[in-house]
Structure 1
């Protein structure tokens, strides 16, 4: 899994620009000594668990059975076997709106900044939310909440009033935020259309490295005598998702934001994060996930590109998942969960699956197959996905603007500038 280039209004650094010939598919190789397959003839055979069949074999034929029985059953499987169980809303959480509304961008936009304190002790465990709202709004506005690889001040370098945050390096050092990071907010693209835009730095919640739990929120919740979360307790992805739910807790108190119309957006491992956050917390009305790949939107049973063994290798990203998921690294078919089940948990809310045609590592076809396999749950609610359509070509939007949508840009991992027009149009259609 790669750190992606996440860009708003900037050219992609993925190595592929629209209009160029797509690069050849990579040759079979190894990552961390583990073979990587890019040959469709070698993905192996697999049978996906049926989204509408309970563990007891009973078929789900009504919304009520899905809501009351099958959905909790699937959610529990992901908590137990892939992402891990996370704590409830903390009793001692508090909010400090230290920037209550500052006019910016020639008074067209209002900026707010909030610190969310996860614990009664406000010293360590906290995150900052940067919010931009249309200045002329006369009622609560819907909002796109991004979880980002860069601190808030790096995401909005043109606004000198944004609090300068800190970021983590891989050695566990907390450093002042750089002036620019992995992306840049195109604030007025959204506020000019009547939508709010907000961002959170994922490192505020928990650092993204093996020992990050010692500094992050997971370490705070360790039970007495424990040195690491239990096998069915949260990995880092669940920690980041938990932080997004805490942001929602804040937005429910903000009279300028319509908390019933909040969309999430994230890329790569943060695409996994927003997909899991939306699956777990039904208060989020929409999720836009980008290139989440293995462990996110791509079918794990397909041995194509990154697989469970790569993800859970101790030299790579094992800490992002519950330790129980490691048990399936040698037998993908034995896992009780897979991507289509995760996607199904968003029903009947809105989900856009976005990927890239040359992001072979993330298996864009596997992401499409997860979308089609999850659609029966959407149909149960009278909503549609891709149907029986064939895997679309890059830039084809025929399957995009649906409650369960799919879009593949020309290019690789992450977002390219044109994706943001797709996102905005999807938001305007459904949010």
Structure 2
């Protein structure tokens, strides 16, 4: 058995039948033999474009801007600046049996009800005294899918096939279908809030959906080789949700954690790289295009990934990954000096767990340069032995999934690094002039 897409498991017979039936079978390709991994050399994140070695935090600030531009030009595309937004907030002071305060926020992305919108669901622990840190991540099937709470609005957008989804539309039966991936009550009891938005509000997660995305509203040119792809769009949406959270009562805007699973793990890493307001970045089973190294020919490859996820130029690097000017370790390093956590699974060879670990390890020199510590492991740890250093990592036993076990490690990691005494307060900078760049 192996996993295709997000939550569908296929038998070997089914895979062979699919391979004979459809061009989509190309997505089943990929080397799964460690002995077949060819030698490769990673570009040094601490060598600037002019050949000079990055030796100080001030040097890293310049290098960081170079890397952001390279990732935009060659992989994710260039996202537009946000417009003036307006928020419509619906709040219930006692939700989930008194455990939570629930807010449902409509973000008017141009300030008008007739323009593009995204919908954010936020739960805060009702027992909190003061502002709380938040886990913020995108969801796959609409806000109503993360919890059976009957008051959650059902998404009106197009939704990928799943239980309770009928002809692309969510029904009442889709409530809570992804609740196992979102242990809301456990997160709230740990003292954190939970926020999410449905990616389909901005770019429906399917090929040929660009016309239904927000791209036409922003005047995106289809011929632009640096056109922002779906991953950049979803990452942009995470920053727009953060715009709201920065204004929200009860939210500690200095302690918002961006996270994502699978393709949304890719988006979380890019959002965390691009937007330094996120206090922590967590990517679960993100694979290539996320935490896994492009130059390591194992599992997912550029050739088989969905084209709509990325800028058009990205696909030109298929079969010539060594010519990419960047790699995944540089993406992880762009979170520095903030805590970053990479999570893999033993059965998820498609996402290349070893490649994810090696990328985290190769980001270590940047963290060390900034005096932030790094990844405290010389070799890949055994399954279910998490590393909670500044660059964190775990290899969970099991398949490509987002589980209660993963969340246990995420919360423990956040507990270690996001205590008020550890993070700089607003107006302070732990590494002056290191990470500033224009608002995303």
Interval of TM-score (by shorter of Structure 1 and Structure 2): 0.7 to 0.9
Matched ranges for 1:193-272 at <5 A: 193-223=190-220, 226=221, 228=222, 230-272=224-266
- Measure how far apart 1:300 and its partner are: 0.4
Runs of at least 5 residues in structure 2 that lack an aligned partner in the other structure: 20-24, 419-440
2:397 corresponding residue in structure 1: 410
Equivalent position SS for 2:76: coil
1:3 corresponding residue in structure 2: 5
Residue of 304, 319, 322 corresponding to 1:330 = 319
Distance 1:37 1:191, change over 3 A: same
Residue of 357, 379, 384 corresponding to 2:346 = 357
The question of 1:160 aligning with 2:153 is answered no
2:86 corresponding residue in structure 1: 94
2:437 corresponding residue in structure 1: none
TM-score (structure 1 length as normaliser): 0.88
CA contact (8 A) 2:87 2:108 kept: yes
1:112 corresponding residue in structure 2: 103
Which deviations, in whole Å up to 9, do the C-alpha atoms of 1:86-125 show, x marking residues without a partner? 001113x21101x223301222211111001112442452
Equivalent position SS for 2:83: coil
Moved more, 331-340 or 169-178: 169-178
CA contact (8 A) 2:142 2:159 kept: no
Which deviations, in whole Å up to 9, do the C-alpha atoms of 1:372-419 show, x marking residues without a partner? 11100110122233345111111012xx21111110100111222211
Q: How many correspondences in the alignment?
A: 400
Which deviations, in whole Å up to 9, do the C-alpha atoms of 1:234-271 show, x marking residues without a partner? 00000000001100111111121011100011111000
- Measure how far apart 1:35 and its partner are: 4.4
TM-score (structure 2 length as normaliser): 0.86
Distance 1:266 1:220, change over 3 A: same
CA contact (8 A) 1:147 1:200 kept: yes
CA contact (8 A) 2:147 2:178 kept: no
Q: Distance in 2 between matches of 1:34 and 1:14?
A: 13
1:148 corresponding residue in structure 2: 139
CA contact (8 A) 1:4 1:267 kept: no
- Structure 1 ranges of 4+ moved more than 4 A: 169-174
Q: Distance in 2 between matches of 1:322 and 1:155?
A: 30
- Measure how far apart 1:222 and its partner are: 2.2
CA contact (8 A) 1:125 1:216 kept: no
CA contact (8 A) 2:317 2:323 kept: yes
Distance 1:105 1:170, change over 3 A: closer
Q: Distance in 1 between matches of 2:263 and 2:4?
A: 8
- Measure how far apart 1:208 and its partner are: 0.9
The one of the two structures with greater contact order (alpha-carbon pairs below 8 A, sep at least 6) is 1
C-alpha RMSD over aligned residues = 2.4
1:341 corresponding residue in structure 2: 330
Distance 1:170 1:186, change over 3 A: closer
The question of 1:369 aligning with 2:351 is answered no
Q: Distance in 2 between matches of 1:253 and 1:180?
A: 28
Residue of 169, 176, 179 corresponding to 2:175 = 179
The question of 1:386 aligning with 2:375 is answered yes
